[in-house]
Amino acid sequence: MDRHILGIDVGGTNVKLGIVAPGGKIVARANIATKNYSRSKLQLIKAMVRTADELIASEGLAKQDFCGVGIGLPGLIDPVGGIVRYLPNIPGWRNVRLQEIMENDLGLPVFIENDVNMITLAEWKFGAGVGYQNFICITLGTGVGGGLILNNAMYRGEGFVAGEVGHMPLGESTLEGHVGNGVLAERAGKIFKIRNMQPPDVFRLAQEGNARAIEFWEEVGTYLGTTLAGVINLLNLRLVIVGGGVSNNYRFFAPAMKATLKAKAMRVQAGMVKVTRCKLHNDAGIIGARILVEEFLIGKG
C-alpha cells in the first residue's frame, strides 16, 4: 500500500495524531488535550475529525492520498464491530460506535483497536519485535497492559481482551496493583515521606546512588519477573518487550526482572526468551495504525 495512513492515539491526557508514510515514518503530527473534552465524547470526536482534516490540509494532501485511519484507545475495544465498549480512564465512553461515526465524518475507512495492541503491532513490524513470531509487549503506565503476537499474528482472544497481563493475580493483588504508576507513587511517598512523589523522582534518587531507591526498583523488577515467568511457562514465547512511561526506569528494574524470570520460569523456556525495552517509545501507538489498517484492508480484500 503506497498511500498514507492517519494514526490516532487516544490517551487520558492527550490525543496524538500523525500521518504515517508507507515505510512507517511519521511525517506530520498534531495533539489534542483530552481534558478539554472530558464532559463530552461527541465533542472529543468532533475535535479529532477537525484536527485530522487540518493536519491533512497542512501537508498539502487530500483524502485520496490516504487508504485509511487507525485509532488506538485505552480500554475494551471490539475491532471487528468497530465499537468502543469501555474506556476506564475517559468518562462516558461505553458502547460507542466510533468506527461508524468517524467514517461518516472523515470519509475514509476507519479501524479501531486497543492501544496496547497498536503498540504491539508497531514494535512487531518496525521495532524491537521485528523477526519474532511469538512475543508479548507489556506497557507500564497508569495501568499495565499487554499485547500478544502468537504464531506470527496478533492474538486478541474470544472477546478481544487477551493480553491483560496487568490483571493477572500476584499475591493478594494483581501485577497492576503492585507496579501501576499510581501504586508506585503512593508507595514512594510512604517510603521517602515526600508528598506527591512520582516514579521519576525515585529514578533520580537511584541515579544518585540512594540505596532505598535502588531497592524500590528491584522490587518492581521482582514483581514483573514473577508474572512474566508464568506467561513464559504458559506460552513459551521468544521475546518480552517492555514499554510505557514507567519503562523509562528500565535500567534499574530490568536486572531483577530478568533474574526473577530466569529463576521462576522453566529452564527450557527461560533459556529461549529475550527481554528488551521497546524501540518506538511514544510513536508506537501512531505507527501501529499503519499495520492495523493494512491488516483489515488486506483481510477484506
3-state secondary structure at position 154: strand
Task: Provide the pLDDT confidence category of residue 94 given band limits of 50, 70 and 90.
Answer: very high
Question: What are the pLDDT digits (tens) for 64-90?
Answer: 999 999 999 999 999 999 999 999 888
Please state the rounded mean pLDDT for residues 170-186. 94
For the chain, what is the domain count? 2
pLDDT at 117: 97
User: Are 94 and 34 part of one and the same domain?
Assistant: yes
Residue 16, in any domain of the structure:
yes
User: Are 146 and 252 part of one and the same domain?
Assistant: yes
User: Are 45 and 182 part of one and the same domain?
Assistant: no
pLDDT at 8: 98
Domain harbouring 224, CATH code: 3.30.420.40
User: Are 135 and 111 part of one and the same domain?
Assistant: no
Give the separation between CA 53 and CA 32, rounded to whole angstroms. 13
Query: Does 13 have pLDDT greater than 90?
Result: no
User: Are 135 and 107 part of one and the same domain?
Assistant: no
Please state the rounded mean pLDDT for residues 248-263. 97
Residue 241, in any domain of the structure:
yes
Q: What is the DSSP secondary structure assignment for residue 10, as one 8-state letter?
A: E
User: Are 232 and 134 part of one and the same domain?
Assistant: yes
Pairing of strands 66-73, 4-10: parallel
Amino acid at 224: L
Residue indicated by cell numbers 489534542:
32
Give the separation between CA 14 and CA 17, rounded to whole angstroms. 10
pLDDT at 90: 85
Q: Smallest Cα–Cα separation from 200: which of 243, 141, 240, 255?
A: 141
Query: Does 300 have pLDDT greater than 80?
Result: no
Question: What are the pLDDT digits (tens) for 206-221?
Answer: 999 999 999 999 999 9
User: Are 142 and 56 part of one and the same domain?
Assistant: no
Give the separation between CA 41 and CA 34, rounded to whole angstroms. 10
Give the separation between CA 178 and CA 95, rounded to whole angstroms. 30
pLDDT at 91: 83
Residue 227, in any domain of the structure:
yes
* pLDDT, greater one: 9 or 90: 9
Task: Provide the pLDDT confidence category of residue 116 given band limits of 50, 70 and 90.
Answer: very high
Task: Provide the pLDDT confidence category of residue 270 given band limits of 50, 70 and 90.
Answer: very high
Q: Note the pTM of the prediction, 2 decimals.
A: 0.93
Angle at 22 between CA 276 and CA 292, to 5 degrees: 65
Residue 125, in any domain of the structure:
no
Please state the rounded mean pLDDT for residues 246-251. 94
Query: Does 298 have pLDDT greater than 90?
Result: no
Cell of 13: 491526557
User: Are 22 and 137 part of one and the same domain?
Assistant: no
Computed over every residue of the chain, the mean pLDDT equals 94
Sheet holding 239-243, edge to edge: 153-155, 144-150, 135-140, 239-243, 274-277
Query: Does 301 have pLDDT greater than 70?
Result: no
Domain that holds residue 71: 4-119+282-300
Give the separation between CA 279 and CA 286, rounded to whole angstroms. 14
